[in-house]
Structure 1
Amino acid sequence: MSQPATAATAADASPRRIAGLALPALVVLAAEPLYVLVDTAVVGHLGRVPLAALAVGGTVLTLIAWLGAVVAYGTTGRSARRFGSGDRAAAVAEGVQASWLALALGVLVAAGMQLGGGALARTLVGESGAVADAAAHWLRIAALGAPGLLLAAAGNGWLRGIQDTRRPLWFVLAPNLLSALLCPLLVYPAGLGLVGSAVANAIAQSISGALFATALVRERISLRPRPHLIRQQLVLSRDLLVRGVAFQASFLSATAVAARFGAAAVGAHQVAVQLWFFTALVLDALAIAAQSLIGAALGAGDDTGARALARRLALIGGACGVVFAALIAAGAGVVPSWFSSDPGVREQAMVAWPWFVALQPVGGVVFALDGVLIGAGDVRYLRNLTIVAALGGFLPAIWLAWAFDLGLGGIWAGLLLFVLLRLVALLLRLRSGGWAVVGAVR
C-alpha cells in the first residue's frame, strides 16, 4: 500500500491550501443558482404564467438538488478518510456506491414526476389552471435530468474526498454554461417556449452526470454495487437529511411569522434571508474544504493534526464572517434598495440589518465547524444539535416574537439565538475531542 496520501495534510493545510479547495467548491456551489437566475430572466419575458410555472417547478428542482447535496456531503467525509489512510481505490469505491445510490434516487424522482408531476404542481399552486398545467409540463421534462443531477452530486462528493477540485469545477461549470446558451435559443428562436427551459436544464444535468460517471469508469475499479456500503451511506445521509429538514422547517416558520407582520415585513425578511443564504453559500465552500481535509487527516491517523486544523478552520471562518459583517454594515443604506423601491420594505430591512450583521462572524465559525464534524463523520451529533437548537431556541423565539408583537427584529433575534446555540455546542464538542476518531471509516 502507498504511503498515506495526506499524512502531512493537517500540518500543511495553510490558508492557501484551504482556499485551493474552497474556491473551486464555491464556483461549483454557485453554478446552479446562477443558471437559475439566467433561466428566470429568459422565461420572465414569456409572460406571467410561464414565469409562475417556472417558480413552482424550480422550487421542486431545488429540493432535488438539496437531496443531492446530502448525498455529496455524506460521501466526502467517507471518501476523504479512505484517501487519508492511503487507499485511493477504497476512496473511489465509496464514490461508486454513492453513485449507485444517486442513480437509483434519480430514476425514482424522474419516474415519480412523470406519474405525479401534475398532482404535485396543482398542490403547490393550490388550484388547477394554466400555471399548474405549465408547471407540471416543465417538471416532467426537467425531471428527466434528475439522475444526472444526483450522479453529479455523488461525483462531487468522492472527488472532493480525494482532494481533486479541478474536475468537479469543469464537470459542473461547462454543462451549466452550455445550458445557459441553449436556454434562450430553445425558448425563442426554436419556438419551444417554457419547454425549451426544461429541455436545456435536463441536458445540462445529464451531461454533468455523464462526465462524473465517466470519471469513475476511468479509475478502473470495480463498479459492482456493494449493498453493505450503500446501507452505511444511507445512515449517514439519513442524519444529514433529518438535519436539513430541521433547517427547512425553521426558515419556513420564520417566513410564516414575518408574513403575519404585514407585506413590508415579509418582503424585507425575504431580502435579508436571501442575502443570508448567499453568504452561507460562500461560507459553505469553507465547510467543504473542512470536510475533505479533516476526513483525510483522521483517515491518516493524525488526530492531533486534525484538532489543530479544526481550530485553524474555525478562525478562518470567523475572519471571513468579520469581513462579510463589515461589508454588509457598510451597505446598509444601499443594498436593500437594490431589491425593492418600496420605502416600507427598506425601513423594515433596517430593522433586521443589525442582526444580519451580527450573524456573520458567528455564522462563519459555525459553518466551518459544521464542515469539520461532517468530515469527521460526527453527523449524528450535528443532527441532534440542529434539532435541539431549532426546537429549543429558534422556533420558540420566533413564535414568541409574533405573540408579543416584536416584529422583524424578534424573528432575526431568534435566528441569532439559533446560531449562537449551535456555536456553543460546536465549541464544546471541538474541545472534548470526541469527534476526532481516527481510521479509514468511522
Structure 2
Amino acid sequence: MTTLPSSPLTRDAIARQAWPIILANASVPLLGLVDTAVIGHFGSTADLGALALGALLFNFIYWSFGFLRMSTTGFVAQAAGAGDEAEVRAALLRPLLLGAALGVAVWVLQWPLVAGYFALMDASEQVAATGTAYFGARVWGAPAALALYALCGALIGLGRSRTLLAVQLLLNGLNAALDVYFAGVLDLGARGIGLGTAIAEWVTCVVAAALVWRLLRERHLDGEAFLPWTRIRDRARLRRTLAANGDIMIRTLCLLAGFGLFARQGAGLGDATLAANHLLLQLVSFSAFFLDGFAFVAEARVGAAVGARDRALFRRAVRLTSELAGVTAAALAIGLWLAGGVIIGWLTSLPDVAAMAHAYLPWAALYVLLSVAAFQLDGVFIGATGTAQMRNAAVVSLAVFALCAWAGANAWGNYGLWAAMVVFVIARAAALLPYYRRLDAGLARRDTHS
C-alpha cells in the first residue's frame, strides 16, 4: 500500500518537497506584473483601473473560498497516513464538487456582485463599465478556479509538490500568454485579460484533474469502488467537512479584516504613509511565499502523522519543518533589512514615499522574522484539521490587533501601527500554542491505547 509520504522524514526530504511549492507560489505575483504591463502598454487608463479593481474583487472572493484548498490538504493527508485509500478519494471529491458548485453560484450572482462592488468603490462610469466587462469574461472560469483549489490541496496532501509546481506553472504561463494575445494582439483590453484567465483556468483544471485521476488510480486497491459514493455522501463526514470549511473561512476573513484595518489606519496618517506601508507589505508578501513552502510541507507531514496516530512522527515533522522555516525566516529578515532599501528604490521613484518606507523597513523585517511561528502553526493545524482552533485563534488575534492598532496609531503614528502588526502575528501564534499542547497530548493518549 502506498502511503504518504513515501520519502523519509529528513531535512533534505523536506527541502526537496518545499522548493517546488515556493516556486509555484512565486509565479503568482509574476502573472500580476505581466497583466499590469500588458494593460499599461496596450490599454487605456480605464482598462488599468478596471483591472486593479476587478482583480481585487476576484482576490477577495477566491480568498474567502481558500478553505477548499486547506481543508482538502488536511483530510487527504490524514486519510493517506491512515492507509484509507477510499477516504483519500472521498476527501478530494467532496470539496471538488463543492468548489464547482460555488463557482457556478458566483457566475449566477455576478450581476448583483459586480454592480454593488463598483458602486461601493465609487468608480468612474468608464472604469465601472470596463470592470464589468472584465468580470463578465473572467467569471466563466470560476467553477474551474475553485475546483483547482481542491485538486491542488490533494496534491499537497499527498506530498506531490513537483506536480503542484507543474500545474501552477501551466496555469500562470498559459494565462500570461493568453493575456498578451487577447489584450495586446487583439486589443481587447481588460476584457481580454479576463477572457485569457478564464480559458487558462479551465485548461489547467482539466490537466490537473487528469494528473490527480492517474495518481489516485495508481493508489487504488483492487476490490473497492474507485468512486466511493457511500463515503462521499456520508452525513457525518459531510458535516465535518462543512464545519471545517466554515471555520477556515472565518479565520481567513479575520486575517483579511486585519490587513484591511492596517490599510485603513495607515490611510488616516496620510497618502505617503499609506503608499509606503503598501510597498513594505509587498516585501512581506514576497517573503511569505518562502515560508508558505515549509508550512505546506508541515500540512502534509503532520496530516500523515495524525492519520497514522504516530506521535513521534508528528513531533519530528513539526520540529524539522519549523527548523528549516526558522532559518529561512531569519535569512529573509536579514536580507530585507540589508537590501530592502535597494528594492524600495526599484518600486518607487517618489522621494517622500521612499524615505518613509526606509524609516519603517526594520519593522517589516521584524514582522517577517516573527511570523514564522504563525505560519508553521497554521500548517500544523491545517494538517491536523484543527480548524475550530484556528478560527478561535484568528478571532482573538484580530481583537488584540484592533485594540493595539487603535491605541498605537493614536499614540505613536505609523510606528505604533507597525508595532501593532508585529503584535498581530505574535498573537496568532500565541493563541494557537495552548491548542498545540492539547493536540500533542491527544496523540500521546492515542499511542497509549494503541
TM-score by length of 2: 0.90
Asked whether 1:168 is paired with 2:183, we answer no
Q: Hey, what does 2:87 align to over in structure 1?
A: 90
Q: Hey, what does 2:128 align to over in structure 1?
A: 132
CA, structure 1 residues 161+168, in 2 after alignment: closer, same or farther (shift >3 Å)?
A: same
Q: What does residue range 147-158 of structure 1 map to in structure 2 within 5 Å? A: 147-158=143-154
Asked whether 1:419 is paired with 2:425, we answer yes
Distance (Å, rounded) in 1 between the aligned partners of 2:316 and 2:434: 15
> Is the CA contact 2:310–2:443 (under 8 Å) kept in the aligned structure 1?
no
> Is the CA contact 1:286–1:368 (under 8 Å) kept in the aligned structure 2?
yes
Q: Hey, what does 2:319 align to over in structure 1?
A: 311
Asked whether 1:204 is paired with 2:200, we answer yes
More deviation in 316-325 or 123-132? 123-132
The number of aligned residues is 432
Match of 1:25 among 13, 21, 27: 21
Q: Hey, what does 1:5 align to over in structure 2?
A: 3
CA, structure 1 residues 418+207, in 2 after alignment: closer, same or farther (shift >3 Å)?
A: same
Q: AA paired with 1:58?
A: A
CA, structure 1 residues 230+134, in 2 after alignment: closer, same or farther (shift >3 Å)?
A: farther
Distance (Å, rounded) in 1 between the aligned partners of 2:33 and 2:12: 31
Distance (Å, rounded) in 2 between the aligned partners of 1:342 and 1:260: 20
Q: Hey, what does 1:239 align to over in structure 2?
A: 247
Q: Hey, what does 1:270 align to over in structure 2?
A: 278
Deviations 1:16-73 (A, max 9, x none): 2112222222233233332122111101221210000001110112123323432111
Q: Hey, what does 1:178 align to over in structure 2?
A: 174
> Is the CA contact 2:178–2:197 (under 8 Å) kept in the aligned structure 1?
no
Distance (Å, rounded) in 2 between the aligned partners of 1:7 and 1:141: 40
Match of 2:396 among 369, 382, 388: 388
Q: Tell me the secondary structure at the aligned position of residue 341 of structure 2.
A: coil
CA, structure 1 residues 316+310, in 2 after alignment: closer, same or farther (shift >3 Å)?
A: same
Distance (Å, rounded) in 2 between the aligned partners of 1:235 and 1:349: 41
Distance (Å, rounded) in 2 between the aligned partners of 1:398 and 1:423: 18
Q: Hey, what does 1:102 align to over in structure 2?
A: 99
Asked whether 1:348 is paired with 2:356, we answer yes
More deviation in 183-192 or 53-62? 183-192
> Is the CA contact 1:91–1:161 (under 8 Å) kept in the aligned structure 2?
no
Distance (Å, rounded) in 2 between the aligned partners of 1:192 and 1:227: 47
Q: Hey, what does 2:414 align to over in structure 1?
A: 408
Q: Give the % identical residues.
A: 30
TM-score by length of 1: 0.92
CA, structure 1 residues 312+167, in 2 after alignment: closer, same or farther (shift >3 Å)?
A: closer
> Is the CA contact 2:405–2:417 (under 8 Å) kept in the aligned structure 1?
yes
Distance (Å, rounded) in 2 between the aligned partners of 1:418 and 1:245: 15
Q: Tell me the secondary structure at the aligned position of residue 333 of structure 1.
A: helix
Q: Tell me the secondary structure at the aligned position of residue 347 of structure 1.
A: helix
> Is the CA contact 2:89–2:227 (under 8 Å) kept in the aligned structure 1?
no
Deviation at 1:165, TM superposition (A): 2.1
Q: Tell me the secondary structure at the aligned position of residue 334 of structure 1.
A: helix
More deviation in 339-348 or 266-275? 339-348
Deviation at 1:237, TM superposition (A): 1.2
Q: Which runs of 5+ in 1 are unaligned?
A: none
Q: Which runs of 5+ in 2 are unaligned?
A: 218-225
Q: AA paired with 2:22?
A: L
Asked whether 1:256 is paired with 2:264, we answer yes
Asked whether 1:63 is paired with 2:60, we answer yes
Deviation at 1:223, TM superposition (A): 6.7
Distance (Å, rounded) in 1 between the aligned partners of 2:281 and 2:432: 23
> Is the CA contact 1:117–1:139 (under 8 Å) kept in the aligned structure 2?
no
Asked whether 1:328 is paired with 2:321, we answer no
Distance (Å, rounded) in 2 between the aligned partners of 1:7 and 1:119: 47
Q: AA paired with 1:222?
A: L
Distance (Å, rounded) in 1 between the aligned partners of 2:175 and 2:6: 40
CA, structure 1 residues 103+223, in 2 after alignment: closer, same or farther (shift >3 Å)?
A: farther
> Is the CA contact 2:25–2:289 (under 8 Å) kept in the aligned structure 1?
yes
CA, structure 1 residues 90+227, in 2 after alignment: closer, same or farther (shift >3 Å)?
A: closer
Asked whether 1:191 is paired with 2:199, we answer no
Deviation at 1:284, TM superposition (A): 1.2
Deviations 1:249-285 (A, max 9, x none): 1111111111111111111111111211221222112
Computed over aligned residues only, the root mean square deviation of the Cα atoms, in angstroms, reads 2.2
Distance (Å, rounded) in 2 between the aligned partners of 1:175 and 1:308: 34
